[in-house]
Amino acid sequence: MEALKEMERRPLFVSRSVKPVAATAGPVILFTAGGKRFAIEASEVEEIRDRDDRTAIRKLKGPEAIDFALQVGLGAGILERFVVLKPGDFSLGVTDVERMTLLPKVVPLPGLFRGAERQWYRGLLVLENDVIPLVRTEYWRKSAPRREDLGVAHE
């Protein structure tokens, strides 16, 4: 939680505008996984935990944390941070959390992208000379491996 509050205190950066508009995003949190940058809406995030707080993650009810990089085909990621989604029963394991930033627009995925990425992402953000996928949290909540499936008992 402290990490999230710390990011909120930092100055916000606004991206340049882009033409196609799918939706308006509020503040987003930028994170890295598997060497790539991703964004997640801050309103969907309960808190961010360090790896050292892993035991706290295990005490959460519900699904286990997932290795986000592995899920999107980047190979097993280095899990240093856990982005806990609201209401706090599920988290994405990521390499690092950069900061929070304000983005006014989300660019829809071009129509040629018709694979699983349509479920993974809400769209793309054009930010600071980079194109960053915006994670579709509702999909990851549904698709996350359940702890029961992993044979891990609730604590």
Residue 18 touches other proteins, criterion: CB under 8 A = yes
- Select from 56-64, 89-97, 130-138, 146-154 the region that touches other proteins (CB under 8 A): 130-138
End-to-end CA distance of the chain: 21
- Segment interacting with other proteins (CB under 8 A) among 3-11, 14-22, 55-63, 140-148: 14-22
Stretch of 1-9, 48-56, 57-65, 103-111 lying at the interface with other proteins (CB under 8 A): 103-111
74-95 in b/e form (b: 16+ CB < 10 A) is eeebbbebbbbbeeeebbbbbb
Q: What single letter denotes the amino acid at residue 118?
A: R
d(CA 64, CA 136): 18
Selected from 90, 133, 137, 147, the binder of other proteins by CB under 8 A is 133
Provide the 8-state DSSP code for 109: P
Among 42, 74, 78, 102, binds other proteins (CB under 8 A): 74
Gap between the Cα atoms of 41 and 134, Å rounded: 8
In Å, the largest CA–CA distance within the chain is 48
Q: Which of 31, 82, 90, 120 binds other proteins (CB under 8 A)?
A: 120
Options 5, 113, 152, 154; binder of other proteins; rule CB under 8 A: 113
Closest CA to 144 of 38, 32, 46, 66: 66
Query: Does residue 124 bind other proteins (CB under 8 A)?
Result: yes
Binding site for other proteins (CB under 8 A): 16-20, 34, 36, 72-74, 107, 110-117, 120, 124, 126, 130-133
